[in-house]
Amino acid sequence: MSQHEKIVDLEQIDAPWNKQITLQEATWQGGFKTIRLRIKEGRRFTDLELDPLTAARLGGKLSAWARANPGATEAD
């Protein structure tokens, strides 16, 4: 498996049920980039690495779901 050349923290989000989500950009050897969603639950970490196409599809689905569910607020 390739090694990361660089990992940059983009944002940290506090989520329900005492979870933390960290968004990171990972640049791999050769310049390929992924976005990593790192979910921390207690001492356990789950990493999900997404290519740009998959990230865009997931982002669209998440945005549509958030718009369809009243009560959501912008936390910025």
User: pLDDT digits over 37-66, tens only?
Assistant: 999 999 999 999 999 999 999 999 999 998
Overall average pLDDT of the 15-37 stretch? 94
34 in a domain, yes or no?
yes
pLDDT of residue 1: 46
Supply angle C-alpha 64, 67, 68, rounded to 5. 85
C-alpha span between 26 and 60 (Å, rounded): 21
The tally of domains found in the chain comes to 1
C-alpha span between 23 and 8 (Å, rounded): 9
- Tell me the pLDDT band of 73, cut-offs 50, 70 and 90: low
Which domain does 16 fall in, by range? 4-67
31 in a domain, yes or no?
yes
14 in a domain, yes or no?
yes
Q: What beta strand segments (E) does the chain contain?
A: 4-15, 19-28, 33-41, 44-50
Residue predicted with more confidence, 5 or 18: 18
User: Model-level pTM?
Assistant: 0.76
76 in a domain, yes or no?
no
75 in a domain, yes or no?
no
73 in a domain, yes or no?
no
